Structure 1
Amino acid sequence: MTDYWVDHSQKATLEEMMLDSQAETLSKVETPEILSMLPKVTGKRVLELGAGIGRFTGLLAEKASHVTAVDFMESFIRKNRETNRHHKNADFIQADVTKMDLPEESYDIIFSNWLMMYLTDEEVMKLAEQSLKWLKEGGLMFFRESCFHKSGDKARTVNPSVYRSPSLYNALFQSVSKPIKGDEETSVGFDIIFTKSVQTYIKLKKNQNQLCWLLEKKRMQSAAHHGYNTFQSFLDNQQYSKQGILRYEKIFGHGYVSTGGAETTKEFVAMLKLQPGQKVLDVGCGIGGGDFYMAKTYGTEVLGVDLSCNMIEIAMERASSQKGNPQVQFEISDITKRDFEKESFDVVYSRDTILHIPDKAALFATFLKWTKPGGKLLISDYCCGPPENHSENFKKYVAQRGYVLYTPEEYGKLISNAGFTNVKAEDRTNQFVDVLQREKKRFEAEKEEFLKDFSEEDYQYILDGWDSKLKRCGAGDQRWGLFYAEKPLYIGED
């Protein structure tokens, strides 16, 4: 790797560093975009890893209390020092980031723009461990990497870069933790706030594979998530493992992991009367089938958000295969921690996802803020019958999945109380049962096709799951709700 960068750092130019003939244009457009995704740096101590010639160093130093800029190429760090030495609150270090020794909890923010693609998996793991140590509790780590394939067009006789999948970065960073002294059940680790694409590369190069991460160092209790450090890890290793997702897709149909697949999607989306150019937020987008459908059929711009890394990685790969269609984009994030500008979307849409979220009232209030006046909300979700009638098996099922369920009537009231109007709360359990029965019948008829890619055990898992859903619905435990609402054109000030 050193030989590779010696060959590509002779002049210490922006084009050399970015390995792209469009470097000047790309940098001009993407620099403010990258900075806009950063947490507030004012008054913070920032560690910049892989600082290069310093296109971010000076901008960080303008607001931060101190910046430590690190790069392992002497020519790059020399150019950085020459450019930014007038910032008295910046230090410049030539070092291998995987071998540095810095004081524990000495930084509020770690920033990295293209670094880990030049490290081995073992070195990324080592850097993750060191970063966890260097950050203060509550500190944030932001990094950006090329995933899946290269982006720069500069000719290279050898290319040792590692173009990882987003899920691998997530797995590497979420696997590191540090025990809290005196508390055997608590540790500190990284919680992912978001993983999202860089818009500049989508617009200028039709490339959705430039991704950014924001992670927080926080205390975690694995007991709270069924033995996993985070709820995200629980989902990706249990219900939404890649194998599990593809099994679901076989019964729901290509691109779908929610009830009724394309059939219910077309029915429910038609209720929204979408118009070209409208912006849709899909919460819990899964592998993106509904998002591609809305964009292609109605000309809408769709942002699909899901907590499952595995779901979004599949969606991103499929978006990339569609020539980087900028109308459909995906990001990994916890919707309860995500923030968008007020009135960003014409529609907030969600299919069978909010069952995972305990504080639905707070979430619906947030949806109201993000929706434009006159905008629409459409949700389908798992619900329940009267709690006093729940069977013990249903209680165990809900606890094992980590669901928080309400009756359709209660669910509708939560949406209304958040400030939405024209709320329609419909119990669609009969439709749910009808869809389940037809999906099961079709699945049984296609057993041989299924077994070409999956095992007999996988086949039986799907059948047992559908039979259990039908029994829960027949007993009155499980219900399925469809909810439509609108944001008032005018909302009075308190």
Structure 2
Amino acid sequence: MPVLNEVRTAMMEFWQDHSKDGSIEEMMLDNNAATMTEEELPEILSYIPNVSGKDVVELGAGIGRFTKELAKDAKSVLAVDFVDKFIDKNKQETSKFGNVQHRCVDVTKLQLPKESTDFVFSNWLLMYLQDDEVKNLIKETLSWLREDGYLFCRESCYHQSGNKDRKANPTKYREPGMYEALFTSLEIPTDNNEEVFGYDLVLQKSVDAYYKLKNNKNQIVWLLQKVRRTKSSNHGYRTFQEFLDEKQYSVNGILRYEKIFGRTFVSTGGLDTTKEFVDRLNLKKGEVVLDIGCGIGGSAFYMVKEYGVKVVAIDLSSNMIKIGMERAEEMGVSLLDVQFEVADATKRMYPDSYFDVVYSRDTILHIKDKLDLFKRFYRCLKPGGRLLISDYACSPDEHSEQFKAYVKQRGYNLLSPEQYGKVLEEAGFVNVEADDRTDLFVKSLEKELVRTEKIKDEFVGEFSLKDYNDIVGGWKDKLQRTAAGDQRWGVFYAEKPVH
């Protein structure tokens, strides 16, 4: 293999030093690798899409820990690694499969035909590449993948995780945000001058096994999907997630909301409405809740502390999740009890009949195809499972031009409460209750407005006078829209049939 530069030479020497036996301990750089892999391997596999009948490229395949799992269902697997002893061991581990090919090559030199694969799987690889090499490789994967194909990456961030002694460590432990920005910013041309191919984020989260066994929340996974996009489709931003994080839910914007709604809350009524809605679910200890659009965790923390449930808390805003994880530590809530994910609810797949409850507060207003989303909720709920949603809604009548402009600027897709309930029924839910609770919305807004005005000096001290005026003006605008009859607020309860 040709020497690329001093960095690549150092990397090769590093792995030659850690590949004498081709053991799992060497592969994971951890003396407890056998114990770790029992928890970690099935978890990692649970995050990848269905590869049945698909062509798979595995980068940094190592000794075949994942190769043999991917080969069970995939149409084909190309296992790539630059350490010959690892590839030799991989060949032994996968010898019974007739659908696996092996290639000993540096991934920075790997060449594959365009649109030749459905899934690229990378586990602990990018941290061994330089920044430009990472950028070039990610762009290459966009080229290799077919449209709507997936890229999965898992990396150690901030610091090393394994406990094996190392003479030297050329690994680059980056911040997760650096990877996220790179994944979603790279683009390649399509056959249409108006469009480009890029990656949309499906999932980003910490690996639970490492948090459980090592108290390490810096093992991060990403699942991304290759999609066509135009800037006009995301309000002038590359992705809808970028629109949320840079415009609607900036860190400053989130903290302003929290100051009004109460610590850990960013939805109408804060703890008061949370108590009312959650109590309606009759939660039981040990149940598992999917919290869609979890914000910074207020509802999830309340459910865990008051009812002893487990919560999978997802939000597409990485700003929300970052603050939520900080608040979890502050609230004394384990990240195993509230498992935060930066995830797209319209793309994230969960096991069928897994959750007891699906819960969402003022989030689905962003999503156009509500029927498809509700069908996803239906599939992942257990028979007899419950669903509770609060959401912005609109009147069934003609709306004012001012309201139409507001909805367009926000990127909302609103239904009347009655229409909302009918879509839930169309998705298969029964015992649907579609309540127009605009009265509670107005009551909460008025209460929050009074409180904000009382703490004006404190608020301005923490933020600015402009922030204060924005919040007060925004609340008054909501009251005006509800008084005009344009804006409504719906609360929806439904169940999945037992049989």
- Whole-Å Cα distance in 1 between the matches of residues 256 and 451 of structure 2? 14
Residue identity opposite 1:355 in structure 2: L
- Whole-Å Cα distance in 2 between the matches of residues 86 and 485 of structure 1? 48
Q: How far does residue 80 in structure 1 lie from its aligned partner after superposition?
A: 3.5
| Between 218-227 and 99-108, the greater mean CA deviation after superposition | 99-108
Contact 2:264-2:327 at 8 Å conserved across structures: no
Q: How far does residue 64 in structure 1 lie from its aligned partner after superposition?
A: 3.8
Q: How far does residue 62 in structure 1 lie from its aligned partner after superposition?
A: 4.8
TM-score (structure 1 length as normaliser)? 0.89
Q: How does 1:143-154 map to 2 (within 5 A)?
A: 143-154=153-164
Residue identity opposite 1:169 in structure 2: Y
Q: How far does residue 185 in structure 1 lie from its aligned partner after superposition?
A: 1.2
Residue identity opposite 2:240 in structure 1: F
- State whether structure 2 residue 405 is matched by structure 1 residue 396: yes
- State whether structure 2 residue 358 is matched by structure 1 residue 348: yes
Contact 1:368-1:419 at 8 Å conserved across structures: yes
| SS at 2:349 equivalent | coil
Map of 1:21 onto structure 2? 31
Contact 1:206-1:326 at 8 Å conserved across structures: no
- Whole-Å Cα distance in 2 between the matches of residues 95 and 85 of structure 1? 20
Structure 1 residue runs without a partner (length 5+): none
- State whether structure 2 residue 285 is matched by structure 1 residue 315: no
Contact 2:325-2:335 at 8 Å conserved across structures: no
Contact 2:115-2:147 at 8 Å conserved across structures: yes
- Whole-Å Cα distance in 2 between the matches of residues 362 and 82 of structure 1? 44
- Whole-Å Cα distance in 2 between the matches of residues 158 and 444 of structure 1? 58
- State whether structure 2 residue 307 is matched by structure 1 residue 298: yes
| SS at 2:341 equivalent | strand
| SS at 1:395 equivalent | helix
- Whole-Å Cα distance in 1 between the matches of residues 369 and 14 of structure 2? 51
- Cα 1:477–1:42 change in 2 (3 A) is closer
Matched residue count: 488
| SS at 2:304 equivalent | helix
Contact 1:148-1:165 at 8 Å conserved across structures: yes
| SS at 1:437 equivalent | helix
| Between 459-468 and 107-116, the greater mean CA deviation after superposition | 459-468
Map of 1:169 onto structure 2? 179
Q: How far does residue 291 in structure 1 lie from its aligned partner after superposition?
A: 0.6
Contact 1:208-1:320 at 8 Å conserved across structures: no
Q: How far does residue 256 in structure 1 lie from its aligned partner after superposition?
A: 1.4
Q: How far does residue 476 in structure 1 lie from its aligned partner after superposition?
A: 1.7
- Cα 1:121–1:480 change in 2 (3 A) is farther
- Whole-Å Cα distance in 2 between the matches of residues 460 and 24 of structure 1? 57
- 1:41-95 deviations in Å (ceiling 9; x for gaps): 3443322212223322344345444433333445534544565567665444444
Out of 376, 382, 385, the position equivalent to 1:375 is: 385
Out of 434, 437, 444, the position equivalent to 2:446 is: 437
- State whether structure 2 residue 194 is matched by structure 1 residue 185: yes
Q: How far does residue 302 in structure 1 lie from its aligned partner after superposition?
A: 0.9
Residue identity opposite 1:41 in structure 2: V
- Cα 1:238–1:81 change in 2 (3 A) is same
- Cα 1:162–1:290 change in 2 (3 A) is farther
Q: How far does residue 110 in structure 1 lie from its aligned partner after superposition?
A: 0.9
Contact 1:116-1:145 at 8 Å conserved across structures: yes
- Whole-Å Cα distance in 2 between the matches of residues 8 and 451 of structure 1? 56
| SS at 1:355 equivalent | helix
Map of 1:252 onto structure 2? 261
Map of 1:357 onto structure 2? 367
- Aligned residues: percent identity? 56
Contact 1:209-1:320 at 8 Å conserved across structures: no
| Between 207-216 and 151-160, the greater mean CA deviation after superposition | 151-160
Residue identity opposite 1:25 in structure 2: T
Residue identity opposite 1:98 in structure 2: T
Q: How far does residue 5 in structure 1 lie from its aligned partner after superposition?
A: 4.2
- Whole-Å Cα distance in 2 between the matches of residues 447 and 122 of structure 1? 48
- Cα 1:468–1:292 change in 2 (3 A) is same
Contact 1:356-1:404 at 8 Å conserved across structures: yes
TM-score (structure 2 length as normaliser)? 0.88
- Whole-Å Cα distance in 1 between the matches of residues 494 and 158 of structure 2? 39
Map of 1:274 onto structure 2? 283
Residue identity opposite 2:255 in structure 1: L
Structure 2 residue runs without a partner (length 5+): 1-9
Map of 2:487 onto structure 1? 478
- Whole-Å Cα distance in 1 between the matches of residues 166 and 454 of structure 2? 51
- Whole-Å Cα distance in 1 between the matches of residues 29 and 462 of structure 2? 40
- Whole-Å Cα distance in 1 between the matches of residues 319 and 294 of structure 2? 12
Map of 1:116 onto structure 2? 126
Out of 205, 210, 216, the position equivalent to 1:201 is: 210
- Cα 1:368–1:132 change in 2 (3 A) is closer
Q: How does 1:71-86 map to 2 (within 5 A)?
A: 71-81=81-91, 83-84=93-94
Contact 1:21-1:154 at 8 Å conserved across structures: yes
- 1:192-248 deviations in Å (ceiling 9; x for gaps): 222344343344445444332222222222222212233222222221223322232
Contact 1:319-1:329 at 8 Å conserved across structures: no
- State whether structure 2 residue 270 is matched by structure 1 residue 261: yes
Map of 1:214 onto structure 2? 223
Residue identity opposite 1:55 in structure 2: R
Q: How does 1:323-338 map to 2 (within 5 A)?
A: 324-338=334-348
- State whether structure 2 residue 106 is matched by structure 1 residue 96: yes
Contact 2:437-2:491 at 8 Å conserved across structures: yes
- Whole-Å Cα distance in 2 between the matches of residues 148 and 462 of structure 1? 36
Contact 1:198-1:212 at 8 Å conserved across structures: yes
- Whole-Å Cα distance in 1 between the matches of residues 164 and 327 of structure 2? 26
- Cα 1:431–1:160 change in 2 (3 A) is farther
- 1:379-420 deviations in Å (ceiling 9; x for gaps): 1111112331x2111100101112111222332333344443
- 1:91-125 deviations in Å (ceiling 9; x for gaps): 44444323433332232221111112333443322
Contact 1:302-1:328 at 8 Å conserved across structures: yes
